[in-house]
A = this chain, B = another copy of it.
Amino acid sequence: MIIVMKAGTPSVEIERVTEEVCRYEIIPEICQGQHKAVIGLVGETAEIDTRQVQNISPFIEQVIRVKKPFKRASLEFRYGEHSEVAVPTPNGVITFGQNHPLVVVAGPCSVENEEMIVETAHVVKAAGAQFLRGGAYKPRTSPYAFQGHGESALDLLAKAKEATGLGIITEVMDAADLDKIVEVADVVQIGARNMQNFSLLKKVGAIGKAVLLKRGLSATIEDWLMSAEYILAAGNPNVILCERGIRTFDKQYTRNTLDISAIPVLRSLTHLPIMIDPSHATGKSEFVQPMVMASIAAGADSLMIEVHPNPAKALSDGPQSLTLEGFEELMQEMAPLGKFFGRWSK
């Protein structure tokens, strides 16, 4: 349920209403929009009489029930206003959101050694990326496959950050590693296979860093938003959704099927920013460029692209990684399209 306050309502009155509604079994949340404030109520709202709430103050414009099962994640909860996720990085605050330039995240699947990660960071920064991605802890199908260098990889990410000022995005697989990860990471990633690891979602909901929530391999849009809701409900409003391909009946030519229609669908359902990962989706570097272009045209707020100095020798996911030169070329192709849509920085 949300309470839409009239434009120009004094803040003291908003607070009074917020206190008043606490007599119901709910938790109120104020969202100050551009013109109006909205108070979101989450909890046992089914029994609350909307007219009773309406009578609390003459400044209340409207009381509306949120019918979706996801509440805080729903667009209705913010009365149609899209949210922004602002992430401080050494190079300044980078903002993910519909009214901001495209944010480009690039880097290798996993952090392999200092030279490769620092070199990659320099190149992707020069090419225009704002974030460096790189796995320290890798979710691998096989226990015998390279599992990431763990803590020492975090140190290397810190060095790359220091060297370039880029923000860092890396995945958490185990809550026990979270403290170490947040020391380095600016955005903490929940991988596709952990999208419904509800314990972990609650824990990243309690940290002060933004969370990148990848869509599960066969997660419906609703499943995904419910997982975002876990993080929001735990107190962390800074969630970015990342589509990375879904599992369908055809795996012969692409690893997964990139669901680009998720972009407008999410836009109509949620206020959260949307990232696309064409590298994991297609699994082949030659299909990354057209999928990047399509994602921009469909309205993505951010892109995550795998880049490796030597894909043929990558310890993981080589076939889907662009070379450093490949990434530079891609950025040169993206820039005019980003500008065309008014989504390019500078």
The chain A residues found within 8 Å of chain B, CB to CB, are 42-43, 69, 71, 139-144, 173-176, 193-194, 196-200, 202, 217-218, 220-223, 226, 229-230, 233-234, 246-254, 257-261, 263-265, 268-269, 281-282, 286-287, 290-291, 293-299, 336-337, 340
Sample 28 A-B pairs with CB under 8 A, ordered by A number.
A42-B144, A43-B144, A69-B141, A69-B142, A141-B196, A141-B226, A143-B229, A173-B198, A173-B199, A174-B175, A175-B175, A194-B197, A220-B250, A220-B252, A221-B253, A247-B249, A248-B248, A248-B257, A254-B265, A257-B259, A260-B291, A261-B281, A261-B291, A263-B290, A264-B290, A290-B297, A294-B295, A336-B340
Partner of A249, one of B141, B173, B218, B265: B218
Cβ contacts under 8 Å, A252 to chain B: 220-222
| Given A197-B197, A198-B173, A253-B265: A337 touches B297 (CB 8 Å cut-off) | yes
Cβ contacts under 8 Å, A254 to chain B: 261, 265
Q: In this complex, what residue of B is CB-closest to A299?
A: B290
Q: What is the CA–CA distance of A147 and B71 in the complex, to the nearest angstrom?
A: 18
Cβ contacts under 8 Å, A269 to chain B: 253
Q: What is the CA–CA distance of A141 and B144 in the complex, to the nearest angstrom?
A: 31
Are A264 and B287 touching (Cβ within 8 A)?
yes
Counting from the closest, the 4 A-B pairs by CB-CB distance are A218-B218, A297-B297, A174-B199, A193-B196
Q: What is the CA–CA distance of A196 and B219 in the complex, to the nearest angstrom?
A: 14
